[in-house]
Structure 1
């Protein structure tokens, strides 16, 4: 299996690289699949971060953000060497081109958390969901 670097439509830097790293770690830990170069791989797992947002859920008395939510939406595609879709989880005979995965995480700045820690948690959870999709029957 080959995992190219995740493409990102977000303006935040290095999100694609961080998600790629987490996906590769989860594949090595949880699946029987081995990572390989594109030329030697029998399948390719591609992903794109379509959106990433941040919104304030709660403010303190001084209108400072107290609880902030970050949200990611990722599209994933797993194809074999011929380009045929492998991962499709639907009962409808028409196969979708992509599997959609989303993840939201919260952070509390007053508690020592930051946007970076929230993104790291989201990347871990997204990678876990994506690799979990590989284990479903197809």
Structure 2
């Protein structure tokens, strides 16, 4: 049987392609993960987020931050938030500080621009007690990460401490959930 040069090339490419496909089954590529799933821990499916404790005088900060974190986890991660304390993992947070600082004043000492700041300590642990948040700046004995966020507001422009605090809460929730990603 006579083959032309073009047909030989096609046959050779087809044979090589079949060999590559057959060999990948033996190499162990079945556990290879790709896409956005590589950013999250494969052994974790559920996260318990208890209501965040609040050490400040602003009574609603813990509840508002809890709601924001739950929304972020549900929309940005493959994890399912559950009320079950026996979930695969638990995200524990605590609002440790809240402050308001005057940045500039009018001639009559009325505040013109202010800064609202929040500090939150967070720790994400697995069911067996392993710390899941990774940060190389954490001292070895401390298992929680402190997050700080501030937001500026101008009362003359119709902004209030509540709008600035809500902005800071949303940013904190985003940063805390970002720390749930696996580091390369």
TM-score (norm 1): 0.93
Q: Which residue of 2 aligns with 1:126?
A: 172
Q: Which residue of 2 aligns with 1:56?
A: 102
Could you tell me which runs of 5 or more consecutive residues in structure 1 were left unpaired when the two chains were aligned: none
1:26-75 residue CA offsets vs partner (Å, 9 max, x unmatched):
00111111011234410000100111111100001111011000111110
Q: Which residue of 1 aligns with 2:160?
A: 114
CA RMSD of aligned residues (A): 1.7
Decide which moves more: 108-117 or 93-102. Answer: 93-102
Decide which moves more: 10-19 or 89-98. Answer: 89-98
Residue 116 of structure 2 is aligned to residue 70 of structure 1? yes
Change in 2 beyond 3 A, CA 1:126/1:56: same
Residue 59 of structure 2: SS of its match in structure 1?
A: coil
Could you tell me which runs of 5 or more consecutive residues in structure 2 were left unpaired when the two chains were aligned: 1-46
Q: Is the 8 A contact 2:97 2:118 kept in 1?
A: yes
The structure with the largest alpha-carbon Rg is 2
Residue 52 of structure 2 is aligned to residue 9 of structure 1? no
Q: Which residue of 1 aligns with 2:136?
A: 90
Q: Is the 8 A contact 1:58 1:68 kept in 2?
A: yes
Q: Which residue of 2 aligns with 1:102?
A: 148
Q: Going by fraction, where is strand more abundant, 1 or 2? A: 1
Q: Tell me which of the two structures has the higher relative contact order, counting C-alpha pairs closer than 8 angstroms and 6 or more residues apart.
A: 1
Deviation of the 1:91 alpha carbon: 7.2
- 2:88 aligned to which of 39, 42, 56: 42
Q: How far apart in 2 are the matches of 1:67 and 1:81?
A: 45
Give the paired residue count.
138
Q: How far apart in 1 are the matches of 2:117 and 2:156?
A: 20
Q: Going by fraction, where is helix more abundant, 1 or 2? A: 2
Q: How far apart in 2 are the matches of 1:52 and 1:133?
A: 22
